[in-house]
């Protein structure tokens, strides 16, 4: 699947951890915060529709609801941690309305200083107080290193409303004008709020949701690519394939079904 909203992961209050292996994951987004520590080799990661390549002793940070995914990198090993909501209360209290200034930290000395905290969580430390301390140290230090700007006030409430609107209307024409009018803002202010909250454009985010629904429709009904693309809001089949290729580096729908 592509750019999926990982509802199952929202309900899961356990850590998701991949340790000392190569993580491969299609583009997705969720309320939780996800971090990647590259232990060796180089790792190709997609963030907000752009590919970045990280070397050893670097960190990738995906804030809640940011689209991200991992390409296969056979020479690389990483530690990937998705923090459950119960571990994010301190983070949201401190940084919930702030927007990090980037996703990548490539300062090797700084990253190595956080590696023991990654390793402790990956090893399955069972004292929850200690796990919380390791989590807070990772997330707090990463935000301090990246820096931030003041973002959308009550970001979580705003994003929840955005996702609900897009999921209800993805098959219709969705534009900056229509969304700004629906939420009661000028289109220029709304565009800035959207980008601050989700780190990408309205067009890219809506396209990601449409692709998810189109793939799901093909799996459920066996319909053609053309039927699914048009039913899910794409203006044409070439537009569907252009989005697929531009943002997700896939050439064949068959690879995804």
- Ranges for all domains in the chain classified under CATH 1.10.10.60: 155-256
- Ranges for all domains in the chain classified under CATH 2.60.120.280: 4-150
Q: How many helices (H) and strands (E) does the chain have?
A: 10, 12
Question: pLDDT of the chain along its 257 residues, tens only?
Answer: 334 444 445 556 788 999 999 998 877 778 889 999 999 999 999 887 788 999 999 999 999 888 888 888 999 999 999 998 889 999 999 998 888 999 999 999 999 999 999 999 999 988 999 999 999 999 999 999 999 988 777 777 888 888 889 888 999 989 889 999 999 989 998 988 888 888 788 888 888 888 888 888 998 999 999 999 999 999 998 988 888 776 666 656 666 66
Q: Which fold has domain 4-150?
A: Jelly Rolls (2.60.120)
Q: Helix-strand-coil percent breakdown of the chain, rounded to 5?
A: 50, 20, 30
CB 234 within 8 A of CB 210: yes
Q: Are strands 58-62 and 33-40 parallel, antiparallel or unpaired?
A: antiparallel
Retrieve residue 58's tokens. Answer: 């670097």
Is CATH 3.10.690.10 the right assignment for the domain spanning 155-256? no
- Give the C-alpha separation, 186 to 190, whole Å: 6
Prediction pTM value: 0.78
């Amino acid at each position: 699947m592509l750019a999926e909203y990982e509802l199952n992961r929202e309900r899961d209050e356990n850590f998701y951890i991949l340790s000392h292996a190569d993580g491969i994951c299609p583009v997705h987004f969720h309320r939780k915060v996800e971090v990647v520590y590259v232990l060796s080799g180089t790792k190709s990661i997609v963030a907000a529709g752009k590919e970045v390549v990280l070397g050893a002793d670097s960190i990738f940070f995906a804030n809640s609801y940011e689209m991200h995914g991992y390409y296969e990198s056979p020479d690389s090993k990483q530690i990937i941690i998705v923090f459950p909501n119960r571990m994010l209360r301190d983070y949201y209290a401190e940084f919930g309305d702030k927007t990090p200034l980037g996703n990548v930290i490539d300062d090797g000395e700084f990253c190595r200083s956080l590696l023991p905290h990654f390793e402790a969580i990956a090893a399955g430390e069972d004292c929850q107080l200690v796990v919380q301390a390791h989590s807070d140290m990772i997330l707090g230090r990463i935000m301090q290193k990246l820096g931030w700007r003041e973002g959308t006030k009550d970001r979580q409430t705003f994003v929840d409303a955005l996702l609900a609107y897009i999921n209800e209307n993805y098959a219709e024409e969705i534009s900056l004008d229509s969304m700004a009018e629906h939420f009661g803002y000028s289109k220029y202010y709304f565009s800035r709020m959207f980008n601050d909250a989700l780190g990408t454009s309205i067009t890219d985010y809506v396209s990601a949701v449409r692709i998810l629904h189109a793939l799901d429709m093909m799996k459920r009904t066996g319909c053609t690519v053309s039927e699914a693309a048009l039913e899910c809001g794409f203006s044409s089949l070439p537009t569907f394939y252009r989005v697929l290729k531009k943002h997700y580096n896939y050439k064949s729908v068959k690879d995804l079904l």
